[in-house]
Amino acid sequence: MQASAHPTITPGMTALLAAAAGIIVANLYYAQPLVANISAALGIPPAAAGLVVTLTQIGYTLGLLFIVPLGDLLENRRLIVGGLLATAAALLLAATASQAWQFLLAALAIGLGAVVAQVLVPFAAHLAPEATRGQTVGKVVSGLLLGIMLARPVASVLAGAGGYHAVFGIAAALVLALAVLLHFKLPQRRPGPAPRYLALIGSLWSLFTTTTVLRRRALYHAGLFGAFSLFWTVVPQALGGPQFGLSQNGIAVFALVGMAGAVASPIAGRLADAGRTLGATFFALVLGSLSFALPLLAPQAKMPALGLLAVAAIVLDAAVAANLVLGQRALFTLGAEVRSRLNGLYFALFFAGGAFGSALGGWLYAELGWHAALIAGMLLPAVALPVWVMEAAEHTAARRIAEAP
C-alpha cells in the first residue's frame, strides 16, 4: 500500500509506532546495568568493561549518520523491517556469545540497528497532517522515552531471574515479532527523487551549515540531554551510597519515577502545533536547569531528600521530553525530502552532548562530589539560553516588520 498523498494516521497506528519506537530504542540501554555481570562472564578486564556500553553508543552514532539518511532514499517500510531483522540477529548473538569479541561485535551491531527508531519518527510525521503533526510526533516520542526509561530496570529484573542471556534472548524475540507485525501493518512510503547514497551522505554537512534551525535545536537539546545523561549517571551512584543506601532493586524502582515526565511529549506537540515553540523551548531549558536546584537544596534527612530527588527526576525528564518533540516538530516543517537526514543529524549532535554530560558527571562525582555534579547539571541547559535570546530577538524583529504599516 502506498502512503496517501493526503496524510492521515489513525490512533491505532500512532500507538503502534510509539510502542515500536520504545521497544527498538530500549535495546541501547539493556547492557548498562549489566556491565559487571557481562564482563565477569566473558572475561572482559575491568579497564575494558566500558566497551560493553560504549560500542553500542558508537554503533548508534554511526547509524544516525549513515543509516537514518536512507529514509530519504529507500522505501521506508522495507528499511524499517530489514533493520529490525538485523537487530534481532545482533541481539541473538549477544544472548549466545561465549567469547568477549562476539558480544562486543553484537553490541556494535545492536547500536546500528537501534537507529530504526529514528526512521520511524519521521515516518510518523509523513503520515500525520500538518495541523496535528506535532501531537503525533509527541506521542511517538513518548513511547521512545518510555523505552529508554524502562530498559534499565527491566534488564535488572530479568537478569536477576535468568541472567543477562535471558535479557538479550527475550529482546531478540520481541524485535523479531515486531518486524513481522510492522511488515503487515505499515503502509509503504517511497521517497521522492533523491541523490545517490554517497551524495546523500555528502549533503549532511551542507544541511548542517545552511540550516539554522537544525543548529539551534541541536544546541538546545545537547544542553538538556547532557544534563539528563549527567543526572542518570551520578544519581544511581548517589542512591547506592551512604546517604540513601538503596539496593539495586530500589534504584530500579526510582528509575521508574522519571517515566512520569514522558507525559510532556504530547503537550509539547500541541504547543508546537499552536505556534508556541519558542516560548515552550525557554521553559524547557529553564526547568531543566531548575530541576538540579531541588536536590542541591535538599535537607540531610533521607526521605525528604529522596522525595525532592524524585521530583527533580520527573521535572528534568519532562523538560527533555518536551524539548525533543519541539525540536523534531521544527525540523519536520523544513521539507519531507530531507526529514530523515535532519533527524539523523539532530540526534547525532545532541547525543554528543549526552556523552559529554555523562563523562563530566562521572568525573565530577568521583573527584569533587555530589554537589559539584549537580551544579554542572544546572549549567548545561543554561549554556543554550544566550542562543535562545538571539532567536527570540530575531523573532520579535521579524514580527514588528510584518506588522509595520
The residue range of the domain holding 328 is: 197-405
Is 73 found in the same domain as 166?
A: yes
Give CA–CA dist 17/80, Å, rounded: 11
Is 133 found in the same domain as 248?
A: no
Is 232 found in the same domain as 153?
A: no
**Percent of residues, the chain, with pLDDT higher than 90:** 43
Is 236 found in the same domain as 365?
A: yes
Number of separate domains in the chain: 2
* pLDDT above 50 for 3: no
Residues in a beta bridge with 188: 2
Give residue-wise pLDDT tens across range 204-223: 999 999 999 999 999 999 99
pTM, full prediction: 0.82
Cβ atoms 221, 324 nearer than 8 A = yes
Is 166 found in the same domain as 211?
A: no
**Percent of residues, the chain, with pLDDT higher than 70:** 96
Long-range contacts of 31-39 (CB under 8 A, 24+ apart): 31/56, 31/107, 31/155, 31/164, 32/151, 32/152, 32/155, 33/152, 33/153, 33/155, 33/156, 33/159, 33/248, 33/252, 34/155, 34/156, 34/159, 34/164, 34/167, 37/159, 37/163, 37/164, 38/103, 38/164
Cβ atoms 149, 140 nearer than 8 A = no
Other CB atoms within 10 Å distance of the CB of residue 300: 7
Give the residue-averaged pLDDT of 118-136.
86
Residue-level pLDDT at 305? 84
Final residue in a domain of this structure, among 168, 194, 220: 194
Cβ atoms 114, 57 nearer than 8 A = no
CATH number assigned to the domain comprising residue 70 = 1.20.1250.20
- 329-344 b/e (C-beta count within 10 Å ≥ 16 → b): bbbbeeeeebbbbbbb
213 or 355, which is more confident?
Answer: 213
Other CB atoms within 10 Å distance of the CB of residue 378: 18
Is 228 found in the same domain as 128?
A: no
* 106, 78, 345, 103 alpha-carbon torsion, rounded to 10°: 0
Is 151 found in the same domain as 61?
A: yes
Give residue-wise pLDDT tens across range 369-385: 888 999 999 999 999 99
Is 172 found in the same domain as 279?
A: no
Give CA–CA dist 354/382, Å, rounded: 15
294 pLDDT tier (thresholds 50, 70, 90): confident
7 pLDDT tier (thresholds 50, 70, 90): low
Residue type (1 letter), 282: F
Final residue in a domain of this structure, among 194, 212, 228: 194
Residue-level pLDDT at 405? 67
* pLDDT above 70 for 142: yes
Give residue-wise pLDDT tens across range 75-106: 999 999 999 999 999 999 999 999 999 999 99
Is 216 found in the same domain as 187?
A: no
Nine-digit cell at 69? 539518511
Final residue in a domain of this structure, among 141, 176, 194: 194
Helix (H, G, I), strand (E, B) or coil at 188: strand
* pLDDT above 90 for 111: yes
* pLDDT above 70 for 71: yes
256 or 202, which is more confident?
Answer: 202
Give the residue-averaged pLDDT of 318-324.
91
Is 331 found in the same domain as 227?
A: yes
Is 301 found in the same domain as 319?
A: yes
Q: Could you tell me the CA-to-CA distances from 328 to 4, 331, 374 in Å, in that order? A: 22, 5, 28
120 pLDDT tier (thresholds 50, 70, 90): very high
255 or 146, which is more confident?
Answer: 146
pLDDT-wise least confident of 133-137, 147-151, 221-225, 248-252 = 248-252
Quote the mean pLDDT of the chain.
87
Is 170 found in the same domain as 305?
A: no
Give CA–CA dist 229/353, Å, rounded: 9
* pLDDT above 60 for 250: yes
Give the residue-averaged pLDDT of 293-318.
85
